[in-house]
Structure 1
Amino acid sequence: MNRRTTLITGATQGLGRGIAFDLAARGQTVLLHGRDRARLDAVAAEVRSAAPDATVRTYLADLADLDQIHALVARIRAAEPRLDGLVNNAVVGGGPDPHVRQLSRQGHELRFAVNHLAPYALARGLLPLLTDSAPARVVNIASIGQEAIDFDDVMLELGYEGLRAYCRSKLALIMATFELAAELDGTGVTVNALHPAHLMDTGGVRAYGLTPATTVDEGVRPTVRLLLDPDLETTTGRYFDQFTDARAHEQAYDTGARQRLMALTRTLCTPDRP
Structure 2
Amino acid sequence: MDNKTVLITGSTQGLGRHIALDLAAKGASLLLHGRDRGRLDQVAADVRAVSPGAPVRTYLADLADLGQVRAMAARVLDAEARLDVLVNNAAIGFGTDHTRREVSRQGHELRFAVNYLAPRLLTRELLPLLTASAPARVINVASAGQAPLDFGDVTLEHGYGGEDAYCRSKLAMIMSTFDLAAELPADRVTVNAVHPAHLMDTRGVRESGLTPAVGIDEGVRPTVRLITDPALATVTGKYFDQFTESPAHEQAYEATARARLAALTRDLLA
* 1:40 matches 2:43: no
Equivalent residue number for residue 195 of structure 2: 195
Residue deviations 1:35-86 (CA, integer Å, cap 9, x gap) = 0000100111111111113111000000000000000010000000000000
CA offset digits 1:115-152 (Å, max 9, x no partner): 00011001000000000000000000000000000000
Distance across 2 between alignment mates of 1:255 and 1:188: 24
| 8 A Cα contact 1:84 1:137, kept in partner | yes
- CA distance 1:187–1:268, shift in 2 (3 Å): farther
C-alpha distance in 1, partners of 2:144/2:62?
25
TM-score by length of 2: 0.99
Q: Which residue in the other structure is 1:261 paired with?
A: 261
List, as ranges, runs of 4+ consecutive aligned residues in structure 1 with deviation greater than 6 Å. none
The CA distance in 1 between the partners of 2:194 and 2:186, in whole Å, is 21
Indicate the SS of the match to 2:16: helix
Instruction: Tell me the SS of whatever aligns to 1:120.
Output: helix
Unpaired stretches in structure 1, ≥5 consecutive residues = none
Deviation (angstroms), 1:185 = 2.6
Q: Is the 8 A contact 1:201 1:216 kept in 2?
A: yes
1:228 aligns with 228
Residue 187 of structure 1, CA deviation? 5.7
Structure 2 equivalent of residue 133 of structure 1:
133
Q: Which residue in 1 is equivalent to 2:112? A: 112
Please state how far the C-alpha of 1:186 moved relative to its aligned partner: 4.5
Tell me if the contact between 2:141 and 2:194 (Cα under 8 Å) persists in the aligned partners: yes
AA in 1 matched with 2:136:
A
CA contact (8 A) 1:26 1:54 kept: no
Deviates more, 1:13-22 or 1:180-189: 180-189
% identity of equivalent residues: 68
2:96 corresponds in structure 1 to: 96
> What is the one-letter code of the residue matched to 2:139?
V
Q: Is the 8 A contact 2:37 2:60 kept in 1?
A: yes
Shift in alpha-carbon separation, 1:186–1:245, aligned structure 2, 3 A: closer
User: What SS does structure 1 have at the residue aligned with 2:134?
Assistant: coil
Tell me how far apart the structure 2 counterparts of residues 234 and 120 of structure 1 sit (CA, whole Å).
21
Residue identity matched to 2:23:
L
**Mapping 1:159-170, distance limit 5 Å:** 159-170=159-170
For residue 18 of structure 2, what is the aligned residue in structure 1?
18
Contact 2:93 2:205 in 1 (8 A): yes
The AA in structure 2 aligned to 1:168 is: R
Unaligned ranges ≥5, structure 2:
none
Residue 87 of structure 1 is matched in structure 2 by 87
- Which residue pairs with 1:207 in the alignment? 207
Matched, 1:245 2:245: yes
Write the distance in 2 (CA, Å) between the matches of 1:106 and 1:240: 32
Two-structure CA RMSD over aligned residues (Å) = 0.8
Residue type of the alignment partner of 1:231: A
Separation of aligned partners in 2, 1:269 and 1:180: 16
- 1:164-192 Cα deviation digits (max 9, x unpaired): 00000000000000000001134610000
How do 1:166-177 and structure 2 match up within 5 A? 166-177=166-177
CA drift of 1:263 comes to 1.0
d(CA) in 2 for partners of 1:42 and 1:2? Answer: 23
